[in-house]
Amino acid sequence: MPVTLRQLADRLSRPAGRVDPLPRAARAPAVVTAVGGVREGFQQQRGPDGRPWAPLKFARPRGGSLVLLDTGRLRASVVGRADAETVTVGTNRPGAATQHYGATIRPKRAKALAIPLTPTAARFPPRDFPGKLVWIPTRRADPSARGVLAELKWTGRGRKAKPELVRHYVLRAQVVIPARPFVGFSAETVREITRLAADAQLEVLTRRLTGG
């Protein structure tokens, strides 16, 4: 059935003829796009603005060098939602804000922070370490350095046995965690959500104008 210009103008002027900026059909795909964009940033090791994250300062006890991907739980915690006008992404995982905005961490009761360097150290605080630890001072070129905790081990047998110091913890007066923004919308994500919204708006208008 043909629609006259007068009928078209009348339909578009009615409240029912208005189209949401983000129609319902586009909301779920928009959330998937937004969350996927944030999670992709973890793999590419960059923020939504495209800037690379600062690398790790200390090696992980379990190995691996990807920033914010020690266990993958932070990346998996990213979720999103959408309504008629907005798309949001975020996470409620403890410590997420510290990683996103950065922070300076200082000990509350102890004299220094103990950063584990080995898998065994990652499982125990220094006072519960299953072995005898010795404190080794370090040069104070870094004012935050407070030495290391190491374990004396013997390698070899008999006269060939040699002492070896295994470093298990680095002691620091404070640790500065650089900001690594991971929540946000990249330019590519914005373009895709804009396309989804435009396609859904066109579909809604087409149905209304044709009576479908």
The three-state (H, E, C) secondary structure of 94-130, written as one string: CCHHHHHHCEEECCCCCCCEEEECCHHHHHCCHHHCC
Cα distance between residue 137 and residue 174, in whole Å? 16
Confidence of residue 212 (pLDDT cuts 50, 70, 90): low
Task: Identify the pLDDT of residue 5.
Answer: 46
Global pTM?
Answer: 0.79
Q: pLDDT tens for residues 42-85?
A: 999 999 999 999 999 888 888 888 999 989 999 999 999 999 99
Q: Is the distance from CB of 72 to CB of 78 less than 8 angstroms? A: no
- What is the rounded average pLDDT for all residues in the chain? 89
Q: How far is CA 72 from CA 6, 78, 130, in A?
A: 58, 11, 28
Report which of 13, 10, 20 is spatially closest to residue 203, judged by C-alpha positions. Answer: 20
Average pLDDT over residues 93-101: 96
In DSSP terms, 81 is beta-bridged to: 88
Phi-psi category of residue 162: left, alpha or beta, with phi > 0 → left and psi -120 to 50 → alpha: beta
Confidence of residue 9 (pLDDT cuts 50, 70, 90): low
pLDDT at 14 over 90: no
Q: Tell which wins on pLDDT, 165 or 36.
A: 36
